[in-house]
Each structure stands twice: as C-alpha cells, then as structure tokens.
Structure 1
Amino acid sequence: MKLALISDIHGNAEALKSVLNDLSIVGATHVAVLGDLSFRGPQPKECLDLIRELQAKVIKGNADEWIVRGIKKGEVPEPAFEMMRQEQAWAKEQLTEEDLNYLSKLPETLELPLSNKEQLYACHATPSSLFDVISNEADNDSFSVYTEANNRATYYAYGHIHLPFLRAFSEKKIMNTGSVGLPFDGDVRASYIVLDSTHNDINIQFRRVSYDVEKACHALDETNYPETAKKVVKKMYTTGSKP
C-alpha cells in the first residue's frame, strides 16, 4: 500500500495537476485529502472536480467551511478580513449548490489502516477544531491533542499550517503534509507525503513537486478575482511564504 496524503490545495489547479501526475510516478495506490480544496485560488471548481474524480478519502478544512458559510469576525486577522470576505464570495460563486453541499458534508477526521498493526489518524487542524493552530515548533505536549483523540493510531497527520515536518515521540509519529497550493516554508514547490507500507516497516517520504508558477499567476489574471487579493496570492505563489 502506498498512501498519498495531500492537503491545502486552495484552488491552485496547476499545483494540484502536477501533484496528481507525481502520484502516478510514485505508484500511489490510495489518496487521502486533508482539507482546504478550493478557497483562495483561481480555480476552485476545477480543483474540487479533480479531487472528486480521484475517489479519495476527503476531510474538511477551515477553508472548506468558510467557502460554504462565510468567514466570521475573529477567524482571520482584522486587516485581512474584508479582502478574504471578498475572496470567499468570489470562490463561492464559482461552485454549484451540489459542490457546496459536498463540502458541507465532509467529515472532519479520518482513520485508515496502514498495515495489520499500524493505523493512521488524520484531521485538518486538530481533532476538535478546523481552525486551531499547532505549530511545527510546538513542544511535544501540544501534540497530545492528536494522540488523546485516538490512541489506537501510531501515525498522525494534519495540514492547515502549510509547513511539512515529522515529529516522533512516545512511539508515535506526527506529520504535516505541507501545502499543495500555498507552501509557507520558502519553497514554492507543491508538498505532500507518501506512506509506503509495502515492506515490513512504514516508510514516510516527503515529496516536493515543481509546477508552472507563472501559469498559476496567469490563471489569476484571467479571472475577476478580487484585485487586492490577487496580488497577495501571487506573492505567495512566487515566494512560498505567508502573506
């Protein structure tokens, strides 16, 4: 079994298509998507359709919640609130009622067997919240929110922070996929993880996939995406960093 974990696509179809091509190169047999499919990028509909065609296991992220019901005060920094509200309204217009219904009904956690003995437990941010942030620099105690939510698992995965990392402690392994569409670690390439259990052990491979960043920026220009937000998203594409 080769399980690919992808997350935080954020409407960037150019990055997603490059990752899907890489999945075939590595021979992924199963795919799990850890949320944030469509919001904050030029191709929300295309990304959602590509994911649904995969027949993957998919869970909800905060951006999926936002695109359905809007962004509430206090959920984003105040200076960015109006801009992100405009982005949400634009993205929602690109999706059908059926698309929105699909996003609204996504589960928030996922448990998958990796082998006869090993299980993976996954969520977008934390098991009890789509919005809470557990930093890659957090102490080990902070990660107990995952292990306490499901002590059967040995492997835990989440997205949300757009920073790939692996932490091992107390015979558990906790990992972050990084982001397909909006990496924040200074590397503009799309990020995802492959868990390979075809041998006796579980091999964890972090993959970085180049994509046509210029084409992704051009895709923004071809839409009526909110102008101020367009500049912010382009900067994230070209620098691989937070706005």
Structure 2
Amino acid sequence: MKLAMISDIHGNEQALQAVLEDISNINASHIAVLGDLSYRGAKPKQCLDIIRGLDAKVIKGNADEWIVRGVREGEVPSKALSMMQAEQGWAKGKLTEDDLLYLDQLPKTLEIPLSNQKQIFACHATPTSMFDVISDQASNDDYQTYVQANERADYYVYGHIHLPFMRSFSGKKVINTGSVGLPFDGDPRASYVVFDRSQKDAQVQFRRVQYDIERACHDLDAEEYPEPARNIVKEIYQSAMKP
C-alpha cells in the first residue's frame, strides 16, 4: 500500500492537479489531506470540490477555520489583518453553505494504521491547536506534544509550516509534508509525502512536483483575487519564500 499525505493546498488548483496526477502515476492507493484547502488562492471552490471528490481522509487546518468564521485580531500580525480579512471574505463568497458546513465539521486529528505494528498520527499543526507553530528547528522536547496525544503512534505527521522535513526522536519520527500550494523552503515545486508500506515498516519519500506557476499566477488575475494579497501570493509562487 502507498499512502500519499498532502497539506496546505491554499486554493492553488494548478498545484493540486499536478500533485494528484503524480499520486496516480506512482500508484498510491490512499490519500490523506491535512488541512488548509481553500483559503489564500485563486480557486477555493474548485480545490474544495476536488478534495471532496476524492476517496480521502481529510482534517481541518487553521485556514479552513478562518474561511468559516473569519480571521480574528491577534491571530495574525496586525499590519496584515485587514488584508487577510479581505481574502477571507472573498474566498468565503466563492463557497456554498454546504461547503462551509463541510469545512466546519472536519475532524482535527487522524490515526492511520500502516500495519499491525506501525501507526501514523496526523494533525494540521499540533494535536491541541490548528494555529500553533512547531518549526523544523524545534527541540525534540517540543515534539512531545504529539507523543502525549498518541503514544501508540510511530510516525507523527503535520503540515502548517510549509517546510518539509523528517526527524527521528525517542524511537519515533516526526514528519512535515511541506505545502502543495505555498511552499516556503525556496523550492517552488509542490511538496507532499508518500508512505510505502512493507510487512513490518514503511518507507517515507518526499515528493516534489512541478506545476504551471505562470498559469497559477494568471488564475489570481483572472479571478480578481484581492489586492495587495494577489501580488504577495504571486511572489510566493515564484520564489517559494515566505514574504
């Protein structure tokens, strides 16, 4: 069995379609989506429809929470608040009431058995928060929050920080999938992770997928994505660096 774990699509339909094509090409039979489906991209409705059409396990991210109930003061830098609220209002206006109900009711954590001996525990950011940031530079002690939530798991997988990495600690592994739609690691290609299960263990592979960045930027213009966020998102697509 091959399990593809993707996260942080952020309304980037071009990247999502490219990743799903790659998943099909490598014959991955299962997909898990770790949140942030629609907010901050030109195609919120299209991306959500694609995800809902998959036979996939899906959990909620902070951006999914935002798109339903808004971006609140104190959750983002004050200088970005009005811009991000405008983005939220624009994206929410593209979705139906049923879409919003779907996002609102998504679970926040996920357990996936890899074998009789190995298990994955996944969340968007941390088991107790969709907003907390545990970076790739965090100490091993910081990862104990995952162990405390599920001591049985062997792999702890999350998204949120848009930086793919894997680290071993205390006989376990913590993995970040990176981002499909908004990578922050200097590589503009979409990022996701594949677990290739064998009898006793699983091989972990990080996948990077090229997609049509020019078309993704065109989508932002064609859909009249709010300014000044439109240019910021384009810069992220083109440089894959957090502004």
TM-score (structure 1 length as normaliser):
0.99
Residues 18-29 of structure 1: pairs in structure 2 closer than 5 A: 18-29=18-29
What corresponds to 1:178 in structure 2? 178
What corresponds to 1:53 in structure 2? 53
What corresponds to 2:6 in structure 1? 6
Q: Distance in 2 between matches of 1:46 and 1:20?
A: 14
What corresponds to 1:94 in structure 2? 94
Is residue 126 of structure 2 the alignment partner of residue 132 of structure 1? no
SS in 1 for 2:23: helix
What corresponds to 1:81 in structure 2? 81
The gaps in structure 2 that reach 5 residues or longer are none
SS in 1 for 2:16: helix
Question: Retained in 1: the 8 A contact 2:127–2:146?
Answer: yes
The alpha carbon displacement at 1:241 in A equals: 1.1
Q: How many residues align?
A: 243
Percent identical pairs in the alignment equals 64
Question: Retained in 2: the 8 A contact 1:2–1:198?
Answer: no
What corresponds to 2:64 in structure 1? 64
Q: Distance in 1 between matches of 2:71 and 2:227?
A: 19
What corresponds to 2:151 in structure 1? 151
The alpha carbon displacement at 1:224 in A equals: 2.0
Letter in 1 for 2:81: F
Q: C-alpha deviations, 1:203-235, integer Å up to 9, x for none? A: 000000000000000000101211211000000
The alpha carbon displacement at 1:200 in A equals: 3.7
Q: C-alpha deviations, 1:16-54, integer Å up to 9, x for none? A: 000000001111110000000000000000000111111
Q: C-alpha deviations, 1:52-89, integer Å up to 9, x for none? A: 11120000000000000000001001111100000000
Letter in 1 for 2:9: I
Question: Retained in 2: the 8 A contact 1:4–1:195?
Answer: yes
Letter in 2 for 1:9: I
Over aligned residue pairs, what C-alpha RMSD do you find?
A: 0.7
What corresponds to 1:204 in structure 2? 204
SS in 1 for 2:163: coil
Q: Distance in 2 between matches of 1:64 and 1:157?
A: 18
The alpha carbon displacement at 1:201 in A equals: 2.5
